[in-house]
């Protein structure tokens, strides 16, 4: 009875989230999508020094669809948690954290003000730390500290950008504001968004966050935490377009992240980390798309990616849960016979990730490739982007060849269990979204319904890039040992370590940052800043009060003498000045 009582919390949360998602979808189509315009509701608290302090809420096609997908994926994750977290004692606390996570993301989605957006931005950082350290061991604590320190850099940069925007008298984003410090503000916002979306050089925390439970990973890597930075850049795009240097920098960092994460995923053996690196690769693709001038296509890919990436994580979680917590790809295998439903849905989500025609990923990925071909970019940048996009099929095939169709090196059949009905239902809901999500969005969203006009050569290159990973299938079965020893023997450590990003950003934040932070606290906060700050002011006030008490409490004649001396000194000073 106690177990049923604990399981009632995720069931109620999933029903509530599905209801909200259905309402937002219907309302978004008939109230917003039919008229193709947005609305803004604003509550003004006070007006001071020529600046309005208000709480604006924006309701347009992008915010409604994004919130709908967040609620849909969160409802599926809550339903999946009924089975995956069935042995959890504090289930209500876990679901409370999940709902706080979803609420913070919705605050970030609907509020277009850079001040009030910090409510959702900081809420995501705090709740993500609590979720990453949920298992309360050394590994999860280290991953949680790395996550929260990287996110705090973004918080500090956003606060600095708000300070520089005081001269503008406006904190609402999306209005093309140009004024003093405009280039600096744009750089601060973009680098703050890069910390949340784990772009180079802040990429170390994203694979480390895999220490969280799999339902949390599905939520974090699909539609909430890592997409917050991309969403902020897209909302701020009308201001960024005035600073082309910032967009140039963003496109270069996005292309490098896309290439780095794709190559690292081709050498990773942990199932969840391969999926995490694929998320990092797709985030780099979105940032690159925004940088080259296609924010609407980037947000379209953000929506379709959320659907099939959540499905990919839930299928991986079902496999891990059914194989006695095994996630090493060198052990898994033959899952198509042992877990046919989860394996088939894993194949479906991987194929959607590759951009297979007429699945969700195809519509947005094809638009991105066509937009890059039709824009004015350098040949090296286009080559890096095409190579990174082509690697998506390579690491997707690695997942399938290791886990689904490969040979099993695990234990006996008694270690495998069958998926529960809650898992099957949550996976079916997301499978429908992975199949039909891109087509539905393109049919109702006017801004992404048209394709760019590219030539026959461009279309042929797009097709080759989409199916480029099939060469890996041939190599893996025929020449895998010879190929790997000949080409990647010296580069394998460099490529598998995310280009040493763990040392560059992870060790810097967790090691050097914490060490010098402790020294600064010891020598500054508890040292001379305390003398000239709190304690110093207290001592000065205490001395001044003692002097005033002596002057006023020793008699009327002494008080008059002190008053006359001070008056004479004041008059002499005024005379010489």
Give dist(CA 530, CA 525) in Å, integer.
6
DSSP-based three-state secondary structure for 113: strand
What b/e readout covers 355-387, taking b as 16+ CB neighbours within 10 angstroms? bbeebbbbbbbbbbbbbbbeeebeeebbebbbb
CB atoms within 10 A of CB 549: 10
Q: How confident is the model at residue 2 (pLDDT cuts 50, 70, 90)?
A: very low
**Given this model, what pLDDT does residue 1 score?**
41
Give dist(CA 86, CA 61) in Å, integer.
37
Q: Phi then psi for 328, rounded to 5 degrees?
A: -85, 120
**Given this model, what pLDDT does residue 416 score?**
57
Give dist(CA 577, CA 570) in Å, integer.
11
Is residue 555 scored above 80 in pLDDT? no
**Given this model, what pLDDT does residue 36 score?**
64
To the nearest whole percent, how much of the chain has pLDDT over 90? 1
Is residue 256 scored above 80 in pLDDT? yes
Mean pLDDT of 488-515: 64
Q: Phi then psi for 323, rounded to 5 degrees?
A: -115, 30
Mean pLDDT computed over every residue of the chain: 78
Is residue 203 scored above 50 in pLDDT? yes
Give dist(CA 342, CA 322) in Å, integer.
10
| 272-276, 285-289, 468-472, 521-525: range with highest mean pLDDT | 285-289
Which residues fall within 8 angstroms of residue 119, CB to CB, at 6 or more apart? 104, 107, 111
Is residue 178 scored above 80 in pLDDT? no
Q: How confident is the model at residue 547 (pLDDT cuts 50, 70, 90)?
A: confident
Give dist(CA 318, CA 312) in Å, integer.
10
**pLDDT tens per residue across span 35-59:** 667 777 877 777 766 666 778 888 8
Mean pLDDT of 489-514: 64
Q: Phi then psi for 222, rounded to 5 degrees?
A: -110, -55
Torsion region of 324: left, alpha or beta (phi above 0 gives left; psi -120 to 50 gives alpha) = left
Is residue 184 scored above 60 in pLDDT? yes
**pLDDT tens per residue across span 435-475:** 888 888 877 765 665 555 556 666 666 666 666 656 655 55
**pLDDT tens per residue across span 333-342:** 677 777 788 8
Mean pLDDT of 196-222: 83
Is residue 477 scored above 60 in pLDDT? no
- Alpha-helical runs (H) found in 91-137: 91-110, 117-132
Q: Phi then psi for 214, rounded to 5 degrees?
A: -60, -40
In DSSP notation, 390-405 reads HHHHHHHHHHIIIIIS
Token pair belonging to 555: 């008699």
**Given this model, what pLDDT does residue 491 score?**
66
Pick from 230, 239, 228, 240: nearest CA to 109: 228
**Given this model, what pLDDT does residue 475 score?**
58
Pick from 311, 475, 515: nearest CA to 507: 515
To the nearest whole percent, how much of the chain has pLDDT over 70? 75
**Given this model, what pLDDT does residue 512 score?**
67
User: What's the Cα-to-Cα distance from 511 to each of 154, 496, 501, 515, rounded to whole Å?
Assistant: 18, 22, 14, 6
Q: How confident is the model at residue 215 (pLDDT cuts 50, 70, 90)?
A: confident
CB atoms within 10 A of CB 577: 5
Which is more confident, 497 or 243? Answer: 243
Q: Which of 303-317, 328-342, 436-450, 502-516 has the lowest mean pLDDT?
A: 502-516
Could you tell me the sign of the dihedral formed by the alpha carbons of 497, 498, 500, 506, in that order? negative
Q: Which of 167-181, 407-421, 425-439 has the lowest mean pLDDT?
A: 407-421
Give dist(CA 161, CA 152) in Å, integer.
14
Contact 17, 74 (CB under 8 A): yes
CB atoms within 10 A of CB 174: 16
Which is more confident, 114 or 5? Answer: 114
**pLDDT tens per residue across span 87-114:** 777 888 888 988 998 988 988 888 888 8
Q: Which of 343-357, 460-474, 559-573 has the lowest mean pLDDT?
A: 460-474
Query: Which regions of 444-506 does DSSP assign to beta strands (E)?
Result: none
Is residue 498 scored above 70 in pLDDT? no
Is residue 267 scored above 70 in pLDDT? yes
**Given this model, what pLDDT does residue 431 score?**
87
């Amino acid at each position: 009875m106690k177990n049923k009582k604990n399981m009632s919390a995720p069931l109620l949360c999933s029903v509530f989230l599905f209801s909200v998602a259905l309402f937002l979808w219907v309302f978004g189509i008939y109230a917003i999508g039919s008229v193709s315009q947005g609305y803004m509701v604003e509550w003004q608290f006070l007006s001071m020094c020529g600046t309005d302090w208000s709480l604006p809420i924006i309701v347009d096609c992008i915010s409604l669809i994004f919130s709908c997908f967040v609620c849909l994926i969160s409802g599926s994750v809550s339903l999946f948690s009924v089975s995956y977290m069935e042995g959890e004692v504090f289930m209500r606390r876990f679901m409370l954290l999940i709902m706080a996570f979803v609420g913070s993301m919705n605050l970030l989605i609907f509020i277009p003000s850079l001040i009030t957006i910090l409510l959702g931005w900081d809420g995501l950082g705090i709740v993500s730390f609590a979720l990453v350290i949920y298992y309360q061991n050394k590994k999860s604590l280290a991953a949680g500290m790395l996550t929260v320190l990287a996110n705090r850099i973004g918080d500090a940069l956003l606060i600095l950008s708000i300070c520089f925007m005081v001269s503008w008298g406006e904190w609402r984003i999306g209005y093309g504001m140009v004024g003093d410090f405009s280039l600096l503000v744009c750089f601060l916002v973009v680098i703050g968004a890069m910390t949340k979306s784990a772009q180079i050089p802040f990429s170390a925390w994203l694979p480390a966050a895999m220490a969280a439970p799999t339902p949390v990973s599905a939520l974090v890597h699909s539609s909430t935490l890592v997409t917050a930075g991309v969403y902020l850049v897209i909302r701020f795009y009308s201001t960024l377009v005035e600073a082309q240097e910032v967009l140039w920098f963003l496109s270069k960092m996005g292309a490098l992240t896309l290439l780095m994460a794709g190559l690292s995923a081709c050498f990773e053996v942990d199932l969840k980390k391969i999926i995490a690196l694929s998320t990092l690769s797709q985030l780099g693709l979105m940032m690159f798309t925004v940088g080259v001038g296609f924010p609407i296509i980037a947000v379209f890919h953000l929506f379709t990616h959320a659907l099939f990436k959540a499905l990919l994580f839930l299928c991986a979680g079902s496999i891990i849960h059914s194989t006695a917590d095994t996630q090493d790809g060198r052990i898994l295998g033959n899952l198509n016979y042992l877990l046919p439903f989860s394996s088939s849905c894993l194949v479906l989500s991987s194929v959607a990730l590759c951009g297979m025609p007429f699945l969700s990923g195809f519509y947005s990925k094809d638009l991105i490739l066509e937009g890059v071909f039709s824009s004015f970019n350098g040949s090296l940048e286009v080559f890096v982007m095409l190579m990174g996009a082509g690697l998506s099929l390579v690491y997707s095939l690695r997942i399938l060849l290791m886990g689904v169709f490969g040979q099993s090196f695990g234990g006996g059949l008694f270690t495998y269990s069958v998926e529960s009905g809650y898992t099957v239902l949550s996976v079916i809901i997301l499978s429908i979204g992975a199949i039909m999500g891109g087509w539905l969005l393109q049919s109702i969203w006017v801004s992404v319904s048209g394709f760019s006009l590219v030539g026959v050569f461009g279309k042929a290159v797009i097709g080759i890039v989409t199916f480029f990973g099939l060469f890996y299938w041939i190599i893996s079965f025929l020449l895998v040992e010879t190929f790997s020893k000949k080409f990647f023997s010296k580069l394998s450590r460099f490529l598998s370590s995310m280009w040493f990003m763990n040392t560059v950003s992870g060790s810097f934040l967790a090691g050097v940052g914490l060490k010098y932070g402790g020294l600064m606290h010891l020598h500054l906060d508890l040292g001379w800043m305390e003398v000239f700050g709190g304690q110093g002011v207290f001592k000065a006030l205490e001395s001044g009060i003692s002097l005033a008490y002596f002057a006023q409490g020793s008699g009327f004649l002494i008080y008059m003498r002190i008053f006359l001396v001070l008056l004479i000194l004041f008059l002499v000073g005024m005379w010489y000045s």
